[in-house]
């Protein structure tokens, strides 16, 4: 059976909870446990856990093998997303500098056609003082507005570069945690034993 979009989402969810468990020092809260339970219910329905037959009469060991594969798939997907984000973040400062230079040229050119629409991403702090990526969309209707936007980007460049570098450090640290989480997935799946049996009982 192919992996449906719903199963792929469950894979990400379960791997994400494994990462949360690592970051929360092996503790998941009630809401997270409920997310795990819902994920297992979806997987059980999609993969037909209730119909699994084994010589021992206990399908849980086979289910755990399938869940481990799913969690590894989810971990790879999370790691891939992180790698892509890190690659973009490493180029962010240069990308913004090129955009600012381009805006200066447009402001000076008589061939510029209005409105000028630009979209760019930059690093900022959220309410918790963590680094986040924000998207800025601008509609510029005259040369003075383009020049003002370019000047604003020039002024903010040093602080944005500093925040981008801090975010790169944080992303690399996340990558290390993902690697550790992936190594611990067998124990993580084993810890689901009781919940797997509870879910299986509701499916039969």
Question: Do 168 and 98 belong to one domain?
Answer: yes
Question: Do 162 and 187 belong to one domain?
Answer: no
Q: For residue 23, give the H/E element and its range.
A: helix 5-23
Residue 192, classified by CB atoms within 10 Å of its CB into exposed (0-12), middle (13-18) or buried (19+), is buried
Strand partners, 123: 133
Taking the C-alpha atoms of residue 111 and residue 151, their distance in angstroms, rounded to an integer, is 20
Question: Do 17 and 71 belong to one domain?
Answer: yes
Residue 185 in 3-state DSSP? helix
The domain of 107 spans: 86-175
Q: Tell me which residue of 64, 99, 85, 74 sits closest to 131, measured CA to CA.
A: 85
Question: Do 68 and 134 belong to one domain?
Answer: no
Taking the C-alpha atoms of residue 192 and residue 35, their distance in angstroms, rounded to an integer, is 13
For the chain, the domain total comes to: 2
Question: Do 27 and 100 belong to one domain?
Answer: no
Question: Do 92 and 67 belong to one domain?
Answer: no
Question: Do 45 and 101 belong to one domain?
Answer: no
Question: Do 101 and 133 belong to one domain?
Answer: yes
Please give the pLDDT value at position 1. Answer: 47
Please give the pLDDT value at position 54. Answer: 84
Question: Do 108 and 160 belong to one domain?
Answer: yes
3-state percent helix, strand, coil for the chain, nearest multiple of 5: 70, 10, 20
Please give the pLDDT value at position 2. Answer: 60
Contact of 154 with 166, CB cutoff 8 Å: no
Question: Do 71 and 43 belong to one domain?
Answer: yes
Question: Do 24 and 73 belong to one domain?
Answer: yes
pLDDT in tens, the chain (204 residues): 467 999 999 999 999 999 999 999 888 999 999 999 999 999 999 999 999 988 888 999 999 999 999 999 999 999 999 999 999 999 999 999 999 999 999 999 999 999 999 999 999 999 999 999 999 999 999 999 999 999 999 999 999 999 999 999 999 999 999 999 999 999 999 999 999 999 999 987
Taking the C-alpha atoms of residue 132 and residue 180, their distance in angstroms, rounded to an integer, is 23
């Amino acid at each position: 059976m192919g992996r449906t979009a719903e199963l792929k989402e469950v894979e990400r969810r379960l791997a994400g909870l494994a990462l949360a468990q690592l970051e929360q020092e092996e503790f998941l809260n009630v809401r997270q446990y409920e997310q795990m339970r819902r994920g297992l219910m979806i997987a059980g329905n999609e993969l037909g856990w209730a119909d699994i037959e084994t010589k021992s009469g206990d399908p849980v060991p086979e289910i755990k093998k399938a869940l481990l594969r799913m969690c590894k798939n989810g971990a790879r997907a999370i790691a891939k997303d992180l790698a892509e984000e890190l690659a973009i973040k490493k180029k962010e400062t240069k990308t913004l500098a090129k955009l600012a230079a381009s805006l200066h040229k447009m402001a000076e050119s008589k061939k510029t056609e209005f409105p000028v629409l630009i979209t760019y991403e930059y690093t900022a702090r959220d309410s918790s003082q963590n680094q986040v990526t924000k998207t800025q969309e601008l509609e510029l209707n005259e040369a003075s507005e383009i020049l003002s936007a370019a000047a604003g980007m020039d002024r903010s460049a040093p602080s944005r570069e500093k925040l981008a570098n801090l975010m790169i450090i944080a992303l690399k640290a996340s990558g290390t945690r993902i690697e550790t989480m992936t190594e611990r997935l067998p124990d993580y799946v084993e810890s689901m034993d009781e919940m797997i049996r509870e879910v299986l009982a509701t499916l039969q």
